[in-house]
Amino acid sequence: MYSISLQQNQYKTYILTDESANSQLEVVPERGGIITKWRLDGKEIFYLDEERFVNPELSVRGGNPILFPICGNLPENTYTTGGKQYTLKQHGFARDLPWVSHSSVSDEGVSLQATLHSNEQTQAVYPFNFQITFTYQLQGNSLNVGQHYINKSSQPMPFSFGFHPYFAVQDKNQLQFDIPSREYQDQKTKENHTFNGSFDFNRDEIDVAFKQLSSQTATVTDLSRKLKLTFDYDNVFSTLVFWTLKGKDFYCLEPWSAGRNAINTGENLTVLQPGASYSTFFKLTANFFS
C-alpha cells in the first residue's frame, strides 16, 4: 500500500508512494529539503523548472521551497539583532542548504523526515543555534508537512517561516480562488486593494499579500485541469502570498507565518525562548474532478 524508494540522480531523491491512491511524492533533502514533485493519478500537481533545479548556483523555482528564517526580502537585505547588523537574502537560507533525512513507512502512511541544523555558515548571517525537522507525509490525496523548530541558543530566537509552492497551470484565467480575506496588499506599491476573487493575469507580475485571514483554509479550483486544491494551515500562518509571472505556467499561493521585514518590525514574528520548541503544520489536498 505504502512504499518508499531511493534514486541516485544528481541528488538523492526519495520517492514516497501511496499505491492505493495512485499518489507519489519526490523529496530531495540535499537541495534545500525540498519536495520537487507530487503526482496524483499520474498528473503533476507542482511545477518544476528543471534547468534551475540542476544548477546549484540558482534557487529552485518549483516544487515546495522552504522559507526560513525570513519570508520575503528585507530592505537592503539587512536586519539587526543583539545590537549587530546582519545580511540575509530573500526568503533566508533553508532552501539552499542540504538537509539530513530519515524515512519510514507505517499503516498511517509513508513519511520522510528532513532536518536542518545551524552551522558556521548559518551563524554568519543568523547568530542562533537551532534545529528544524520537517515531516513530509503522503496519505491518499493529501500531503502533510509537519514542522518542529527548536531554539538551542542561550538567547531568544526570532524568525518567520513558510512555504513557496509552485503549482502547474495551463490557463490562469480558469483559476477560481476562495481565499479567506477581502483585501490584499500589493507587495511592490504597498497599496491595499479589495479582492473580488480574481486577478488581472495580463500584468507582467502579480505579487500580493493577504494579511487579514478569517480562517485557516483556502482553495484554488483550476477549471482547465479540473483540479481543486485545498490549503489547510495552522493559525500561526498570518499571511497568504499570491505570486505569478506572465507567460510562466505556474502560480504560487504561499503560507507565511509573518510578512516581509518582520524580523525588523516584529509584526507576527515568532520568538522562541532558549531551549523552547514549536510545532505546526501545513496540509495540501488535491482533488481531480470530471
193 CB burial (10 A radius; 0-12, 13-18, 19+): exposed
Give per-residue pLDDT as tens, 23-72: 999 999 999 999 999 999 999 999 999 999 999 999 999 999 999 999 99
Which pLDDT tens digit goes with each residue over 172-231?
Answer: 999 999 999 999 999 999 999 999 999 999 999 999 999 989 999 999 999 999 999 999
- 3-state DSSP helix/strand/coil % of the chain, to nearest 5: 5, 50, 40
Average pLDDT, the chain: 96
Summarize pLDDT for 96-111 with one digit per residue, the tens. Answer: 999 999 888 887 789 9
Taking residues 137-166, what's their average pLDDT?
A: 97
Residue type, 195: F
pLDDT at 170 exceeding the cut of 90: yes
Report the pLDDT value the prediction gives residue 191, as an integer from 0 to 100. Answer: 96
Residue 44's closest CA among 32, 36, 53, 52? 36
Architecture of the domain whose range is 2-288: Distorted Sandwich (2.70)
> Would you state the torsion angle of the CA atoms of residues 65, 69, 71, 76, taken in this order, to the nearest 10 degrees?
-120
- Residue 117: pLDDT above 90? yes
Cell, residue 232: 489547510
Where do the structural domains in the chain lie, given as residue ranges?
2-288
% of the chain exceeding 90 in pLDDT: 96
| CA-to-CA separations, 284 to 38, 114, 145, 229, 242, in angstroms, rounded | 11, 18, 9, 7, 16
In angstroms, rounded to a whole number, what is the distance separating the alpha carbons of residues 242 and 21?
29
- For position 69, what pLDDT does the model report? 98
Q: What is the pTM of this model?
A: 0.97
Average pLDDT over residues 64-89: 97
For the residues 139-155, what does the mean pLDDT come to? 97
> Which H helix or E strand runs over 28?
strand 23-28
